[in-house]
Chains A and B, each alone.
Chain A
Amino acid sequence: MKISSREVEYVANLARLEVTEAEKEKFTAQLNDILLYIDKLNELDTKGVEPMSHAISVTNAFREDKILDSIGTENSLANAPDARGEFFRVPKVID
């Protein structure tokens, strides 16, 4: 076993996901399967191969510093679960 159900719980909490006991068991097994597969990849000799972060070979995709239309306050707030005046409203957070 690569990871325990405690680690699944930890990761779920970081992602703000609520999981039941049954799900926790299921995900632990599934994640272990995935990690076993990664182990398989590790068998490959990658000496002298640069690490790569993207599957495509495109680099340097830029835009010029030109202002485009914003969508405005009203549209920005249109899908918000809660808003007040020109602001999004969220449960109180204090640093």
Chain B
Amino acid sequence: MEFETVIGLEVHAQMLTDTKIFCGCSTKFGGAPNSHTCPVCLGMPGVLPVLNKKVVEFAMKMALATNCEINKSCEFARKNYFYPDLPKGYQISQYAYPLAEHGHILLDVNGEQTKIGITRIHMEEDAGKLMHDEHNPSSYVDLNRTGVPLIEIVSEPDMRSSEEAADYLKRLHEILVYLEICDGNMEEGSFRCDANVSIRPKGQKEFGTRAELKNMNSFRNVQRALEYEIKRQQYLVENGGTVIQETRLWDDAQGATNSMRSKEEAHDYRYFPDPDLVPILVDETWVEKIRKELPELPLTKRERFIKDYQIPAYDAGVLTADKALANYYEEVVKLCAKPKAASNWVMGDVLKFLNEEKRDIRQCPITAKSLADMIRLIEEGTISGKMAKEIVEDMYKTGKSPQTIIEEKGLVQITDEGELIKTITSIIEANPGQLADYRGGKEKLFGFFVGQAMKATKGKANPQLVNELLKKMLA
């Protein structure tokens, strides 16, 4: 039987505010355990949470960037459950009236655009962190993360493959980082993803029973977990079994998803409006103010790069994956006016050096100006492309300008015709046999003479000029 996969994703993104969502405690990662806490985030009786305005504005940015409608009025609700990482016994979240709904983003898979719907975006507080004792029946609680602002972005069940899901996640991640509202660090948990997966026989309208996957902390693991889960469900159905609705945890080492049996008790969160937090009204003026603050988004930038710089879609994709990289590229182009050459050097050499050392473009020792100068020197014929390969490596290692390196190493290309004619004349004189063979029709020997000329000039001869001169002088 042929199956179709149906995937919906829930993404939790930590907002890059200085303080928590309902109190003035720091959101900084890595403080001493339980040091970033106060009566509000510890859930002491009688305290009053007050909403951080920046969280609303950041969430609005994401809503606008994903084409959502921002609701004129929204409110917070209490989601009740007991777990030691949640000191109040409830999480403050949004339920019946979320901040934004009905959005979408566009995916570009193999040149085809797919629209993935976004059901809703809401604000909520994060829970604390638990560590489990290996030897004693104890768990340890750190409440520094309690109350750190999150937005949850819920997609429609619009994805039909693990690749599509991974692509959606990457696009979402890219937008959050472009907006500078989330640092996107998956290992530290600033960007987390849960997936709902089901399968159905091809052509069937109704959805199959879904499993919820958790605990995937990289794009790769999300894709691996989905692939495993799709196979597991297909195998189950093909062998007469049925998929049950459950939460399954991804085990990276095992490469499998396992049922989370301990939480068998059905959830009954008894949501109700939080009486401590008053409704949030968002008017048109506020929305427009936020809209004006939006930067150029990745997709728009990509399209502009393709159109304005006439570079392939692939190049544009690589160059705009990181906003800082895109800025660097644009700076280089502005200074050398050679978009395709700039793209080749940035993507080929600069990114290769950076990736080898796991650095990003902000730490690149080659300034945009140096790279642009080097590209100009190639265009002007001062250096050859081959020499440039060597020079750019030195530029990366030393941070020196190309001009300095060329001077220090005496690398300037020989473009003086007179000098080259002298060199070629002596080569011809030294190889009468080859000359006779060439003139007799062995055209392959042309390469031999080019090689000799380059050797005699230690590779510094301008190759184009050598070719021209040889054609004349050998004839």
Interface size (B, Cβ < 8 Å)?
A: 53
A77 vs B18: C-alpha distance in the bound complex, in angstroms?
24
B138 pairs with A62, CB closer than 8 A:
no
The answer to whether A60 touches B281 (Cβ under 8 A) is yes
B141 touches A54 (CB 8 A): no
Whether A54 and B279, one on each chain, are in contact in the complex, defined by CB atoms closer than 8 angstroms, is: yes
B54: A residues at CB distance < 8 A:
64-65
B347 part of interface (Cβ distance < 8 Å): no
Whether A62 contacts B34 by the Cβ 8 Å rule is no
Residues on B with C-beta less than 8 A from A14 are 80, 268, 270
Instruction: Report the minimum CB–CB distance from A95 to chain B (whole Å).
Output: 6
Query: Is B445's beta carbon under 8 Å from chain A?
Result: no
**Given contacts A53-B75, A61-B51, A92-B137, are A72 and B278 in contact (CB under 8 A)?**
no
Q: B278, A90: Cβ atoms under 8 Å? A: no
Determine the residue in chain A with the shortest Cβ distance to B286. Answer: A60
A68 touches B23 (CB 8 A): yes
Cross-chain contact B32 with A73 (CB below 8 angstroms): yes
Q: Which of A21-29, A30-38, A39-47, A81-89 contacts B (4 or more CB under 8 A)?
A: A81-89
Q: Which residue of A lies closest to B129 (CB)?
A: A87
CB of A60 within 8 A of CB of B278, answer: yes
Chain B residues with Cβ under 8 A from A71's Cβ?
Answer: 37-39
Chain A CB within 8 A of B36 CB: yes
- The reply to whether A87 and B38 contact each other, CB–CB distance below 8 Å, is no
- 26 A-B contacts, Cβ less than 8 Å apart? A14-B270, A53-B75, A54-B278, A59-B278, A61-B277, A62-B50, A64-B53, A65-B17, A65-B52, A65-B53, A66-B18, A66-B19, A66-B24, A70-B26, A70-B36, A73-B34, A77-B34, A86-B32, A87-B131, A88-B140, A89-B139, A91-B137, A93-B84, A93-B139, A95-B249, A95-B260
A33 CB to nearest B CB, Å: 21
Closest 5 pairs (CB-CB, A-B): A68-B24, A53-B273, A87-B140, A62-B53, A86-B33
Please report whether the interface of chain B is mostly helix, strand, loop or mixed according to DSSP. Answer: loop
A60-B280, A76-B42 known; 14 new pairs, CB 8 Å cut-off, are A14-B270, A60-B278, A61-B50, A62-B53, A65-B18, A65-B54, A69-B38, A73-B33, A87-B131, A89-B138, A91-B138, A92-B137, A93-B84, A94-B262
Q: Is A49 an interface residue when CB atoms closer than 8 A count as contact?
A: no
Chain B window 58-84, contacts with chain A (Cβ cutoff 8 Å), 1 for yes, 0 for no: 000000000000000101000010111
Interface residues of A (CB under 8 A from B): 14, 16, 53-54, 56, 58-73, 76-77, 84-95
Do residues A89 and B24 form an inter-chain contact, with CB atoms below 8 A?
Answer: no
Contact check: which of A60, A61, A92 meets B132 at CB < 8 Å?
Answer: A92
B25 within 8 A of A: yes
In whole angstroms, how far apart are the Cα atoms of A92 and B39 in the complex? 25
Set of chain B residues within 8 Å of A70, measured between Cβ atoms: 25-26, 35-38
- B142 on the A face (CB < 8 A): yes
A86 to B52, CA, bound (A): 28
The reply to whether A84 and B138 form a contact with Cβ atoms under 8 Å apart is: yes
With a cutoff of 8 Å between Cβ atoms, the chain A residues found around residue B2 in the complex are none
Across the interface, name the chain B residue whose C-beta is closest to A89: B138
